[in-house]
């Protein structure tokens, strides 16, 4: 996949396991994808799908133990991030790769002012004076659309609204003009109208700074609007990876089809009944044999329960892990 | 309108007496119980507790100490007050495992008997603080406003008092004696219990399942008995277990100061104070009662710690 | 359905002001939050009325007012001809049987110390329905109705997944055979694939038992999926009420327009073509709401009058149907 010199990040067969008293949790199990320069890649999945752990693994933020990266590589600009020591990794983290978290209240330090934290983020990676850092911080706050920036520099996180806090987080994340911005459910905690503001801001900053974005979300609408390519995850495994149109109009994995059938569309004129996926996502400790989705899959055959399907490239750039995907491809099996 | 027809709907179960409803619900529970095996949170907690080695050590210590307290008369080799005139201040030996004190009394037997006082004080004093604390904490938690303010401000005053100093003050007023120790320690402990119970009631009161019960028309007493109480016990169990340890230390301290158990009744604290003058010539006098206090308190603390981990559903995966 | 035109619930001029407390020895009230400020709406029998809005708009407070979990500051809640606001607690008990609620958080709404049998049994016990045997039978029947295994009657909530727990909550609401169920964000805590299961279950139950729903949520696409009519709330006020189709096709209030536009549709081609209206600013605090129209600081269409006078709900539909909006420039595109 990394043949293209446009590739910024190349991840192969990443496996992050957690060794707990109750058993081994295979939180990320064989994830591969690549990220191109300037693109927005969406990772979509439900609770426990491993989408957030994937992000944390890229940033080297997994606690070891209980976590362990069992296999894989994360190639960023010719460097395997998994081979780096924590100290070396710090040069990348917050600098070339940075992250926006779901809950800005818990990821901002409540005892320091926003200005303080912003300047710290800048000074950690740039050799400039405090005065320059202060000016840079002001500039960043202005960039993320914060009103009243001079006053805001002296404010503490609790004095901000949820949306403003998320803006401050974004300012911090882009402080060192990163090549990759990972946004993990950046708007889940926010109101709908604020959500739109923040997502537009991320999109705008991405275009302005020519960086790439990994957008992690459970919201298919957000994926449809912002992502160019999409990785669908289920129970720690990547089930489908393709460009956004193919994911929505030509899915080859029954889980992707199920997700799309589960959401109501605002624009639908006639009330079409939702087609939910039966059952509930499995516990990562006690995964079903064979294909992990088989127990919930309406297309599952007995053979699906014997082994996990290999990840195949069914069309150019369209990867899927499903024994029956070829039948969908040839048209012998209907998606309906 | 509904497929399920109302079956004998109009037949009231009982009179509207609340006690009956609660009792009724308990028997209902029991009936479910017999049919299937329950996997309750407490059973889960017990399973987690068993897996915790330190907690099991704590539990073992507590059980052993309780057994010693009960069986002291049978296992002690000597009467704890018997003075063997020929054997004053002897070091540990085959006939006197822990040695003898200045009056020739067997330290081993005295330590065994001392367990009785310590365990009794621990349990009864904590029971007294629980009784007072639960009652006042409940009033405080359920009825906000003036009663809450009054109770909590009184509790604050008790908190402002150093524990030991408070105990000394009360003992000075009441005079020495085992019974008064119960009262003193019990009186001092209530404020923590009340606070804990109040805060746990306050947090549970905000839970949606309380709202759900209210929306169904559940009476206040039903909500208290069926929803709030069962959900607020966990922190109290932990606190009380730990507090037994504290009570034992306070008793030892009071007896050490001569305000507690009066001679010749053996008490670890008293034994410590008696040994003070012989710390160089006969260190075992101090060593064994001190060790007994340490082990017993450690046992309760370990058990309490383990209980906290076991009862906290947040740690459950 | 012939019954559809019967009025089941009518809320008129409902207000709830919360006092903010402060004090040295014990709390005294100082200022107040106007959580619900003079709202009126009605629900017909058998229909679903959706209430949608962002955090702090007062939608959940409205639910709790109708259930009398909190006391309104003023207003009328007319349920089948009785004003629930004025009923004594003992009189209210009769109506509690008919009005039930489903909560948002399936983890917080079930007591962790009760089995699911106990939980579904509780409404029957409180309202003294049947004897022990008939109750047990009924509990099992309802567990089955909501798609749970009746054999699991003695299990505890923590042994179930979020979706299954929500089913327990639905069984508890259903077991007394109510008329009106208030659904307060019933699916927003659930995973996407499970949300659809619960929504479909609720629609099926509505058909089967002829239920009336007051469906409260922040997600307009979910509300639109289940509701016949929708009310849009903003800072304690209802700003627009319309049939759900009409609301999407022809929104009149600029806030509704912004809200609709803010929700991305899971259809990439369509999203690329769609014009987006991004409402500026934050949702103001209900402690100190803006003067005049509460939406005016964020409204692209705002004029002088909007900050001075408060617009009232007016009907803008010509052909008899109701389409209410509270805006001086209703229908003006932004």
Evaluate whether C178 touches C160 at the Cβ level (below 8 Å).
Answer: no
Q: Is the pLDDT of residue C327 over 90?
A: yes
Q: Tell me, what's the pLDDT at C10? A: 94
Q: Is the pLDDT of residue B7 over 60?
A: no
CATH classification at residue C242: 3.40.50.300
The domain made up of A7-96+176-264+274-330 has a fold known as Rossmann fold (3.40.50)
Q: Tell me, what's the pLDDT at B22? A: 32
Number of domains in chain C: 2
Q: Are C267 and A265 a contacting pair at CB < 8 A?
A: yes
Domain extent for B172: 42-76+104-315
In three-state secondary structure terms, B78 is coil
| Closest-CA residue to C243 (of C325, C322, C327) | C322
Closest to B32 (Cβ–Cβ): which among C96, C115, C131? C115
* Phi and psi angles of residue C238, each rounded to the nearest 5 degrees, phi first: -90, 125
Cα gap C77→A60, rounded to integer Å = 56
> To the nearest 5 percent, what fractions of chain C are helix, strand and coil?
35, 25, 40
Q: Is the pLDDT of residue B315 over 70?
A: no
Cα gap B302→B62, rounded to integer Å = 10
Closest to B1 (Cβ–Cβ): which among C125, C131, C210? C210
In a domain, C333, yes or no: no
Number of domains in chain B: 1
- Report the interhelical angle of B107-142 vs B284-311 (nearest 10°): 30
Domain boundaries of chain A, sorted by first residue: 7-96+176-264+274-330
Residues contacting residue A42 through CB under 8 Å, at least 6 positions apart: A215, A216, A217, A222, A223, A226, A227, A229, A230, A231, A244
Sheet containing C99-102: order of strands: C99-102, C180-184, C212-217, C48-52, C229-234, C237-243, C324-325, C314-315
Q: Does residue B235 or residue C306 have the better pLDDT?
A: C306
In this structure, are C42 and C191 located in the same domain?
yes
| Closest-CA residue to A74 (of A95, A91, A59, A63) | A59
Residue C101, chain B, CB below 8 Å: the answer is yes
* The pair of three-digit structure tokens given for residue B103, joined into one six-digit string: 């009056």
Closest to B41 (Cβ–Cβ): which among C96, C132, C156? C156
Q: Tell me, what's the pLDDT at C25? A: 54
pLDDT tens-place string over residues B55-81: 899 999 999 999 998 888 888 888 877
| Closest-CA residue to C257 (of C242, C270, C269, C267) | C242
**A 20-39 residues inside an 8 A Cβ radius of B:** 20-22
Q: Tell me, what's the pLDDT at A308? A: 92
**A 290-319 residues inside an 8 A Cβ radius of C:** 296
Shortest Cα–Cα distance, C259 to chain A (Å): 6
Mean pLDDT of B184-213: 87
Mean pLDDT of C167-189: 92
In this structure, are C80 and C128 located in the same domain?
no
Interface test with B, best of C27, C126, C143 (most B CBs within 10 A): C126
* Phi and psi angles of residue B7, each rounded to the nearest 5 degrees, phi first: -90, 115
In a domain, B31, yes or no: no
In this structure, are C128 and C182 located in the same domain?
no
Shortest Cα–Cα distance, A156 to chain C (Å): 18
Residue C200, chain A, CB below 8 Å: the answer is yes
In three-state secondary structure terms, A18 is strand
Residues of chain A positioned with their CB less than 8 A from the CB of B51:
21
Domain extent for C309: 2-21+32-98+178-325
Q: What's the predicted TM-score (pTM) here? A: 0.81
Residues of chain C positioned with their CB less than 8 A from the CB of A164:
282
Q: Are A193 and C222 a contacting pair at CB < 8 A?
A: no
Residues of chain B positioned with their CB less than 8 A from the CB of C69:
211, 214-215
> What is the number of other CB atoms lying within 10 angstroms of the CB of residue B91?
12
Q: Are A47 and C191 a contacting pair at CB < 8 A?
A: yes
Cα gap B137→B133, rounded to integer Å = 6
Q: Tell me, what's the pLDDT at C100? A: 92
Closest to C278 (Cβ–Cβ): which among A196, A224, A296? A196
* The pair of three-digit structure tokens given for residue A263, joined into one six-digit string: 């959401």
Residue A262, chain C, CB below 8 Å: the answer is yes
In this structure, are C184 and C89 located in the same domain?
yes
Evaluate whether B73 touches B80 at the Cβ level (below 8 Å).
Answer: no
Q: Tell me, what's the pLDDT at B275? A: 81
* C54 pLDDT tier (thresholds 50, 70, 90): confident
Which alpha helices (DSSP H) does B36-106 contain, by range?
A: 41-51, 53-75
In a domain, B3, yes or no: no
Q: Are B51 and A21 a contacting pair at CB < 8 A?
A: yes
Cα gap C171→C274, rounded to integer Å = 41
Cα gap B206→C157, rounded to integer Å = 19
Q: Are A192 and C262 a contacting pair at CB < 8 A?
A: yes
Interface test with A, best of C47, C58, C263 (most A CBs within 10 A): C263
- Spans in chain A with pLDDT lower than 50: 1-3
Residue C138, chain B, CB below 8 Å: the answer is yes
Q: What percent of chain B has pLDDT over 70?
A: 85
In this structure, are C237 and C286 located in the same domain?
yes
Cα gap B295→B62, rounded to integer Å = 9
Q: Tell me, what's the pLDDT at B314? A: 52
* The pair of three-digit structure tokens given for residue A277, joined into one six-digit string: 């996926």
In this structure, are C120 and C70 located in the same domain?
no
Q: Are A280 and C161 a contacting pair at CB < 8 A?
A: yes
In a domain, B93, yes or no: no
- Length in residues, chain B: 317
Residues of chain B positioned with their CB less than 8 A from the CB of A21:
51
Cα–Cα–Cα angle for A203, A61, A201, rounded to 5 degrees: 10
Q: Tell me, what's the pLDDT at B233? A: 79
In this structure, are C161 and C256 located in the same domain?
no
In this structure, are C216 and C135 located in the same domain?
no
Evaluate whether A21 touches B315 at the Cβ level (below 8 Å).
Answer: no
Q: What is the DSSP letter of A191?
A: -
Cα gap A216→B63, rounded to integer Å = 53
Residues contacting residue A153 through CB under 8 Å, at least 6 positions apart: A113, A114, A115, A118, A134, A137, A138, A141
Q: Tell me, what's the pLDDT at A270? A: 65
Residues of chain B positioned with their CB less than 8 A from the CB of A20:
317
pLDDT tens-place string over residues B251-295: 888 888 888 777 777 888 888 888 888 888 888 888 888 899 899
Mean pLDDT of C300-324: 88
CA atoms within 13 A of residue B124's CA, in its CB half-sphere: 14
In three-state secondary structure terms, C282 is coil
Domain boundary among C146, C166, C186: C166
Q: What percent of chain A has pLDDT over 70?
A: 98
CATH classification at residue B297: 1.10.3720.10
Instruction: Give residue B217's Cα distance to chain centre.
Output: 36
Q: Is the pLDDT of residue B247 over 50?
A: yes
pLDDT tens-place string over residues B15-65: 333 333 333 333 333 333 333 334 466 777 788 888 888 889 999 999 999
Residues of chain C positioned with their CB less than 8 A from the CB of A281:
161, 191, 193
* B185 pLDDT tier (thresholds 50, 70, 90): confident
**B–C: how many Cβ contacts below 8 A?**
134
Q: Is the pLDDT of residue B156 over 60?
A: yes
In three-state secondary structure terms, C10 is strand
* The pair of three-digit structure tokens given for residue A145, joined into one six-digit string: 């659309």
Residue B212, chain C, CB below 8 Å: the answer is yes
In this structure, are C214 and C86 located in the same domain?
yes
Residue C123, chain B, CB below 8 Å: the answer is yes
CA distances from C332 to C127, C254, C263, C328 (A): 52, 8, 20, 9
Distant-in-sequence contacts of A166-169, Cβ < 8 A, 24+ apart = A166/A100, A166/A104, A166/A190, A166/A194, A166/A198, A167/A141, A167/A198, A167/A201, A168/A104, A168/A108, A168/A114, A168/A117, A168/A118, A168/A141, A168/A144, A169/A100, A169/A101, A169/A104, A169/A107, A169/A108
| Range with lowest mean pLDDT among A87-96, B3-12, C45-54, C79-88 | B3-12
In this structure, are C92 and C115 located in the same domain?
no
Q: Tell me, what's the pLDDT at A246? A: 93
- Length in residues, chain C: 334
* Chain A nearest-CA residue for C187: A263
In this structure, are C145 and C52 located in the same domain?
no
Q: Tell me, what's the pLDDT at A265? A: 83
Evaluate whether B4 touches C141 at the Cβ level (below 8 Å).
Answer: yes
* C24 pLDDT tier (thresholds 50, 70, 90): low
């Amino acid at each position: 996949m990394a043949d293209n010199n446009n590739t910024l990040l190349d991840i192969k067969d990443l496996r992050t396991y957690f060794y707990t008293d109750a058993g081994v949790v295979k939180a990320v199990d064989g994830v591969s994808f690549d990220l191109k320069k300037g693109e927005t890649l969406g990772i979509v999945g439900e609770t426990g799908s491993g989408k957030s752990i994937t992000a944390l693994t890229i940033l080297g933020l997994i606690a070891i133990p209980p976590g362990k990266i069992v296999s894989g590589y994360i190639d960023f600009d010719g460097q395997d991030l998994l081979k780096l020591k924590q100290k070396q990794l710090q040069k990348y983290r917050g600098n070339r790769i940075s992250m926006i978290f779901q809950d800005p209240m818990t990821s901002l330090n409540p005892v320091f002012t926003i200005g303080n934290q912003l300047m710290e983020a800048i000074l950690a990676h740039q050799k400039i004076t405090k005065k320059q850092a202060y000016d840079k911080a002001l500039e960043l706050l202005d960039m993320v659309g914060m009103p009243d920036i001079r006053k805001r520099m002296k404010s503490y996180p609790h004095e901000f609204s949820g949306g403003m806090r998320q803006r401050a987080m974004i300012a911090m994340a882009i402080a060192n003009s990163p090549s990759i911005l990972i946004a993990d459910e950046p708007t889940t905690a926010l109101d709908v109208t604020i959500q739109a503001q923040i997502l537009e801001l991320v999109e705008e900053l991405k275009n302005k700074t020519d960086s790439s974005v990994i957008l992690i979300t459970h919201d298919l609408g957000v994926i449809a609007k912002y992502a160019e390519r999409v990785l669908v995850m289920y129970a720690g495994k990547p089930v489908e990876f393709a460009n956004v149109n193919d994911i929505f109009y030509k899915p080859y994995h029954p889980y992707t089809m199920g997700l799309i059938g589960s959401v109501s569309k605002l624009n639908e004129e006639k009330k079409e009944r939702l087609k939910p996926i039966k059952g509930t996502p499995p516990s990562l400790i006690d995964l079903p044999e064979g294909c992990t989705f088989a127990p919930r899959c309406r297309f599952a055959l007995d053979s699906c329960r014997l082994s996990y399907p290999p990840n195949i490239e069914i069309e150019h750039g369209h990867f899927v892990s499903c024994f029956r995907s070829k039948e969908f491809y040839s048209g012998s099996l209907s998606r309906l | 309108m509904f497929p399920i027809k109302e079956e004998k709907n109009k037949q009231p179960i009982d009179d509207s007496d609340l006690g009956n409803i609660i009792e009724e619900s308990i028997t209902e529970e029991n009936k479910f119980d017999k049919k299937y095996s329950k996997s309750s949170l407490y059973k889960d907690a017990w399973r987690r507790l068993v897996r915790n080695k330190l907690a099991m050590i704590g539990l073992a210590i507590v059980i052993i100490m309780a057994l010693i307290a009960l069986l002291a008369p049978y296992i002690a080799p000597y009467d704890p007050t018997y003075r063997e005139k020929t054997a004053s201040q002897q070091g540990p030996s085959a006939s006197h495992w822990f040695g003898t004190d200045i009056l020739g009394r067997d330290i081993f037997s005295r330590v065994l008997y001392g367990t009785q006082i310590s365990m009794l004080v621990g349990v009864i004093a904590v029971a007294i603080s629980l009784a007072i604390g639960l009652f006042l904490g409940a009033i405080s938690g359920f009825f906000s406003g003036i009663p809450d303010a009054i109770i909590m401000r009184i509790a604050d005053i008790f908190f402002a008092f150093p524990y030991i100093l408070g105990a000394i003050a009360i003992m000075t007023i009441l005079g020495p004696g085992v019974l008064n120790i119960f009262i003193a320690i019990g009186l001092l402990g209530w404020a923590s219990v009340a606070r804990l119970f109040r805060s746990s009631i306050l947090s549970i009161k905000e839970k949606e399942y309380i709202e759900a019960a209210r929306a169904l028309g559940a009476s206040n007493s039903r909500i208290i008995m069926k929803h709030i109480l069962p959900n607020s016990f966990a922190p109290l169990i932990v606190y009380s277990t730990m507090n037994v340890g504290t009570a034992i230390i306070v008793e030892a301290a009071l007896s050490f100061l001569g305000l507690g158990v009066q001679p010749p009744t053996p008490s670890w604290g008293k034994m410590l104070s008696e040994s003070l003058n012989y710390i160089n010539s006969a260190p075992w006098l101090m060593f064994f009662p001190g060790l007994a206090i340490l082990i017993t308190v450690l046992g309760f603390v370990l058990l309490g710690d383990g209980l906290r981990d076991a009862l906290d559903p947040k740690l459950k995966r | 359905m012939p019954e559809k035109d019967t009025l089941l619930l009518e809320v008129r001029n409902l207000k709830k002001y919360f006092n903010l407390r402060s004090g040295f020895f014990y709390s005294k009230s100082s200022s107040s939050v106007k959580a619900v400020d003079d709202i009126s709406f009605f629900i017909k029998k058998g229909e679903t009325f959706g209430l949608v809005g962002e955090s702090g708009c007062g939608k959940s407070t409205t639910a709790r007012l109708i259930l009398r979990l909190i006391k309104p500051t003023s207003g009328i809640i007319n349920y089948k001809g009785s004003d629930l606001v004025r009923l004594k607690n003992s009189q209210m008990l009769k109506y509690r049987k008919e009005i039930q609620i489903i909560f948002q958080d399936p983890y917080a709404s079930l007591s962790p110390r009760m089995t699911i049998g106990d939980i579904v049994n509780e409404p029957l016990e409180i309202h003294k329905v049947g004897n022990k045997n008939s109750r047990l039978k009924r509990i099992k029947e309802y567990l089955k109705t909501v798609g749970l295994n009746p054999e699991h009657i003695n299990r505890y909530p923590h042994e179930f997944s979020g979706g299954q727990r929500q089913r327990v909550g639905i069984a508890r609401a259903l077991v007394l055979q109510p008329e009106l169920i208030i659904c307060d964000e019933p699916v927003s805590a659930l995973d996407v694939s499970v949300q659809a299961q619960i929504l479909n279950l609720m629609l099926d139950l509505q058909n089967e038992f002829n239920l009336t729903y007051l469906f409260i949520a922040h997600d307009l696409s979910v509300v639109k999926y289940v509701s016949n009519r929708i009310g849009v709330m903003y800072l304690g006020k209802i700003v627009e009420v319309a049939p759900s189709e009409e609301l999407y096709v022809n929104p009149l209030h600029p806030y509704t327009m912004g809200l609709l536009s803010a929700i991305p549709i899971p259809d990439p081609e369509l999203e690329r073509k769609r014009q987006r209206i991004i409402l500026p600013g934050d949702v103001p605090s209900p402690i100190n709401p803006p003067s005049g129209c509460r939406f005016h600081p964020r409204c692209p269409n705002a004029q002088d009058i909007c900050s001075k006078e408060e617009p009232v709900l007016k009907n803008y539909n010509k052909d008899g149907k109701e389409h209410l909006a509270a805006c001086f420039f209703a229908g003006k595109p932004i």
